[in-house]
Amino acid sequence: MEFLNLKECIIENHGTVHRKLINEFLMKQGLRAEESIEYTFALLNEDKVVATGSLDGKVIKCVAVDENYQGMGITNKVISNLLNEAHRRGRQHLFVYTKPKNLSIFSDLGFYKIAEVSQEVVLLENQPRGIDGFIEEISSARRDGSIISAIVVNCNPFTLGHQYLIEKAAKESDFLHIFVVSEDKSDFPTEVRLKLVKEGTKHLENVIVHQTKNYLISSATFPSYFMKKYDDTVKTHALLDIQIFAKYFVPALGINRRYVGEEPFCQLTSKYNSTMKTLLPNHGVEVIEVPRRKGDREVISASRVRKLLREGKLINVKQLVPINTYQFLISEEGQRIIEKMEKALALIS
């Protein structure tokens, strides 16, 4: 190692010569470069890529070392660089997404295992008490009863459909834990989504609204949800996410039922739902799929609401959302968000 003179290479934009070399290298290692990657570090010997690793938000991914260069501590060099860069960008809580055979390498580098899909993928974090600490926090909301339910929602934004699903679940349960996805990658920011759900479920006595932090449907546990594309990795991601739910959330809160809205349109969510139905019963959790509530003609969905908003048809949205969501939409802050969505549409078309 000491005698190798490797050139360091940092890439923060796409389309360079090195990016192409790195992508080819990753392909050989059975990995795929993702478009959401924002920072890549590579080590080159002459013009040959020897090792690389990337940063995608708070997730370290696409880490690979050429097999002829393994066992020289090169992984440490790559990970050190990524850790320092992440800290420079103000991110301390980091995740690693890797193959199970690399588990011991990352354990040596100070990462702790959260969950594993055997043969496929393992998720680690750099905080020794990360998920345990979070679970401890939410378990103060544990309630006893014979039917304890959970529901995980993004609510982008909160519609009458969500409200109907939550009301139905609350009525059929002794207690309902509502988890609002914390990942801030939707049109409506996390605090807004959380606030609208809290307001819109205020009238229910046996519910509590939680955040999911990085642990349910986040870019760490379920990256494909935010990439909005459907391929074979979706099943792996779904398995990982559901496993975390079963391993940590279910025992901590005594959950024995999970409610989901039926998903007729989105292939990705429907795959997630079907995976849940096969996996969760093994953990003593019954999965209840609730058919969508119909408006006057079409079913109510958040994606339909967003489409109407982008088209400037706020008036048609009024009958699809609870009054508090509508009030937010016509507020100054709401108008700003809608404006941004319209602009994004104009860019695409």
Judged by the rule CB under 8 A, the positions of this chain that interact with other proteins are 73, 76-77, 79-81, 83-84, 87, 92, 109-110, 128
Residue listed under structure tokens 């609350």: 170
- Please say which residue, 78 or 338, places its beta carbon nearer to other proteins: 78
- Please say which residue, 89 or 340, places its beta carbon nearer to other proteins: 89
CB atoms within 10 A of CB 50: 21
What minimum distance in Å lies between the beta carbon of 62 and other proteins? 18
Instruction: Please state, in angstroms and rounded to a whole number, the distance separating the CA atoms of residues 108 and 105.
Output: 5
Q: Are 250 and 219 in contact (CB under 8 A)?
A: no
Beta bridge partners of 334: none
- Please say which residue, 110 or 133, places its beta carbon nearer to other proteins: 110
Beta bridge partners of 42: 9, 52
- Our CA dihedral for 139, 141, 145, 148, rounded to 10 degrees, sits at -80
What minimum distance in Å lies between the beta carbon of 44 and other proteins? 18
Q: Are 212 and 180 in contact (CB under 8 A)?
A: yes
- Please say which residue, 84 or 303, places its beta carbon nearer to other proteins: 84
Instruction: Please state, in angstroms and rounded to a whole number, the distance separating the CA atoms of residues 128 and 192.
Output: 30
What minimum distance in Å lies between the beta carbon of 132 and other proteins? 15
- Please say which residue, 87 or 313, places its beta carbon nearer to other proteins: 87
What minimum distance in Å lies between the beta carbon of 95 and other proteins? 16
Instruction: Please state, in angstroms and rounded to a whole number, the distance separating the CA atoms of residues 334 and 341.
Output: 11
- Please say which residue, 83 or 268, places its beta carbon nearer to other proteins: 83
Instruction: Please state, in angstroms and rounded to a whole number, the distance separating the CA atoms of residues 303 and 272.
Output: 17
What minimum distance in Å lies between the beta carbon of 73 and other proteins? 5
- Please say which residue, 88 or 297, places its beta carbon nearer to other proteins: 88
- Please say which residue, 94 or 244, places its beta carbon nearer to other proteins: 94
Is residue 229 exposed (0-12), middle (13-18) or buried (19+ Cβ within 10 Å)? exposed
What minimum distance in Å lies between the beta carbon of 30 and other proteins? 25
Instruction: Please state, in angstroms and rounded to a whole number, the distance separating the CA atoms of residues 111 and 286.
Output: 33
State both tokens at 70: 């393994």
What minimum distance in Å lies between the beta carbon of 108 and other proteins? 8
Per residue in 211-228, is it b (16+ CB within 10 Å) or e — as a string? Answer: bbbbbbbbbbbbbbbebe
- Please say which residue, 91 or 277, places its beta carbon nearer to other proteins: 91
303: left (phi over 0), alpha (psi -120 to 50) or beta: alpha
What minimum distance in Å lies between the beta carbon of 41 and other proteins? 12
Q: List Cα–Cα distances, 137 to 210, 211, 228, in angstroms.
A: 10, 11, 31
What minimum distance in Å lies between the beta carbon of 124 and other proteins? 14
